[in-house]
Amino acid sequence: MRPRERAAGVLLHISSLPGKEGIGTLGESAYRFADFLKKSGARYWQVLPLVQTGFGDSPYQSVFTSSGNPYFIDLFALVKEGLLKRREIAPVCRGGKVDYGFLYREKYKVLRLAFSRFDISDLDFVSFVGRGEFEDYALYMAIKQKSGNKSFDLWEKRFKYRDAAALASFKEENKGEYLFWLFLQYKFFAQWNALKSYVNGLGIRIVGDIPLYVAADSADVWANPRLFKLKNNLKPKKVAGVPPDYFSATGQLWGNPVYNWKVHEAEGFVWWCERIRRAFAMYDTVRIDHFRGFDRFYEIDAGEDSAINGRWKRGPGMALFAAVKEKLGKLDFIAEDLGTLDAGVYRLMRRAGYPGMKVIQFAFDGNPKNPYLPENIGENSVCYTGTHDNDTMVGYLSGLNAEGLQYFYRRMKEQFRKLGIARRFSGVKGAAKAAAELAFASEAYLAVLPMQDIMLTGSDTRMNTPSVPVGNWQYRLRALPSDKEAEELYELTRSYGRL
């Protein structure tokens, strides 16, 4: 395999951008953040799934896996288009952490007002609708709204089981609602494609993220029930999760329906190929979340209170990725290979050839063979200080007792010596900066820092705490990073040959 060019990246979700609206958007701050990345020498911007979130607000639980999140639509751009007046977007303007309940109440009102002024005969929009890529999504959302936001398994039978005549009649009678949801996707992708073009023009690639699983209440499951392990009433029979691990003593009970892989394989993995095609239309590189589930996945009986009593089942393995390569060619994937791994996962990783993930926070357990130790990290890897599921480095180190902190310091200093680097550091923030340096010093072709670990912020800026149902996905920058922070990141990037 030809050596990959060393590079650096930054992890920051769109929702975490600063700005005048109650959530980060695809507007001015996104463009200025791209400028910061350019100044810092970073050539990758990693985001979380850009999908429309559902109940629980997680980007890993979407109403449709290929959707764009309407919350990210820049309302100020709609003002420039004449669809809104500045005073009309005032109710959505607020700072602080993301409040999804507020957004649901207020932003959709403003977006509906914009749609009421939109010319649905616009040729670009007509072409967008005609491609039919969001047909199931738009119908699903329209019926959901008319059904009091109930889960689709509680809809009238004619809609629940997709009676063709009933759906055609509903679409005709509720054309405005149906077209509203298409309008949201049309505007999202127009803004996203413009931003991506700008970012790529700066020489920066966007790393997107696709979850392994889909939400139980989603257009994906509603339109394709045969692809999932469901009961006759379309409720999940088996659900996904992971056994007890670093993050939770009782495991993680995600609740997503697991795939009926036999049906997927019999159909030539068509659904997955289309999903991945659309992901690469949005991103330059795709991180596949929970990659280990393609080798073996953990399924739990629906109705269980925890993930303790689950069972491991065989996944599609290399057959899926061979089908993807045959249909779509060679693609730039990153495999999220964290969690409970075994020989089968490692074999699949080797056969696929995808780079895996290495996390500095997991490195210092005293095991000299720990794969996350910088000295053990190979080139075909992406190295992070932490992911969106970890505490920030400052938060993590602040949570250690005095003995644990000294142990972490000692082990990090050993790593610097083994890498032939003379380095001294002190204090929590000094150690957090040193951890970032270790990631950049590693042989991994790509080193990625969460924005929190560049700005050295604490646990109050953590993005997600697995198995904790509230308080997640709310982190937001108060302001764009400064020139000083860009200069410091540039120097770190230059020092370790990642420009």
The catalytic residue positions are 289, 336, 389
Q: Are 377 and 443 in contact (CB under 8 A)?
A: yes
Q: Are 12 and 33 in contact (CB under 8 A)?
A: yes
Report d(CA 88, CA 71) in Å as an integer.
16
Of 467, 466, 14, 54, the closest CA to residue 220 belongs to 54
Q: Give the other-Cβ count within 10 Å of 349's Cβ.
A: 20
Phi (first) and psi of residue 373, to 5 degrees: -60, 130
Report d(CA 83, CA 61) in Å as an integer.
30
Report d(CA 383, CA 378) in Å as an integer.
10
Strands (E), 1-131: 7-11, 44-46
Expressed in angstroms, the distance from the first to the final Cα of the chain is: 22
Tokens 């509903």 belong to residue: 170
Number of H helices, E strands in the chain: 18, 12
| Secondary structure of 430-461 in HEC code, one letter for each residue | HHHHHHHHHHHHCCCCEEEEEHHHHHCCCHHH
Dihedral sign computed on CA atoms, order 56, 58, 59, 60 = negative
How far CA 109 is from CA of 39, 70, 80, 270, 353, in Å, comes to 38, 12, 18, 37, 47
DSSP 314: E
Of 121, 141, 117, the closest CA to residue 130 belongs to 121
Q: What angle do CA 320, 325, 329 make, to 5 degrees?
A: 160
Tokens 């790509």 belong to residue: 446
